Amino acid sequence: MENDNFRVLILKAPPEDTTEQDTFIKSLQNNGISAVLIPTLQFRFKNLEILSQHLADPENYSGIIVNSPRCANSIIESFKILKNKNYQIKWKKLKCFVVGETTANIIEFNHLFQCEGGTCGNLSNLLELISKYSFDKPLLMPCGNLHKEQETNLNIQKIEVYETHEHPDFKITIRNIFKTEKILTLIVFFSPSGVKFALPYIKEISNKNIKFVAIGPTTAQEIRNNKIELSGICKKPNPENLVEIIINIIKGR
């Protein structure tokens, strides 16, 4: 299925491993859909020394919550600070709950923990899963500076381990794409922070008829808060779900 007049813009942070093609781009292109990754966000680690201190005390926790690839990588870097692998061995005996298959893949590839909840799709669903368990100690949870509090009775100890910023190349990249003659039809947002950083600028520089797709209900709500109509919502943050939604949009346009 070739769609030469149809372009999909993927607005997200670039892959952590710059030598690999983004899995969402790869899946769309394999289905004959023209897709471009627009680096929208970048992340800067902070407080890794503090996180490493908490990772050095596994006996004080019942487990850990990892809700993004950045959080997974912050744990990897913090374990490097500790150097002593005995801490990591002790954490493997505790519960590890993750949001998203990408996060789970990072955790499992680096042999950090045994993961649960990778298919939950978002933190709200994951917390619902975790609430079915009973813990006598808190759960450790690295998070970003834009983390939104979730209503829960769980005992969670949060540590802010990264900051989110607009990618320095975002504006010039998307402005140049809007100048091309190829018809732009669809933009995919992956996070509420991506919407906050990117959508106001897109509305400022483009008067084209654009369709929008959100990854997850939280991102969808952020788009709706900007009075933008959605053409689709991916309930699960995986390439297969996105490809299915975009193919349905193409068929229905």
Fold of the domain built from segment(s) 7-40+167-252: Rossmann fold (3.40.50)
Query: pTM of the full predicted structure?
Result: 0.80
Give the residue among 2, 5, 1, 3 at the shortest CA–CA distance from 182: 5
Query: Rounded to whole angstroms, what are the CA distances from 37 to 7, 11, 34, 160?
Result: 11, 6, 11, 27
- Give per-residue pLDDT as tens, 206-235: 766 789 999 988 899 999 999 999 999 998
- Give per-residue pLDDT as tens, 71-97: 999 999 999 999 888 898 999 999 999
Q: What percentage of the chain reaches a pLDDT higher than 70?
A: 93
Please answer whether residues 172 and 82 qualify as being in contact, where contact means their C-beta atoms are separated by less than 8 angstroms. no
Q: In this structure, is the dihedral angle defined by the CA atoms of residues 232, 237, 18 and 161, taken in order, positive or negative? A: positive
Fold of the domain built from segment(s) 44-165: Rossmann fold (3.40.50)
- The residue ranges of every structural domain in the chain are 7-40+167-252, 44-165
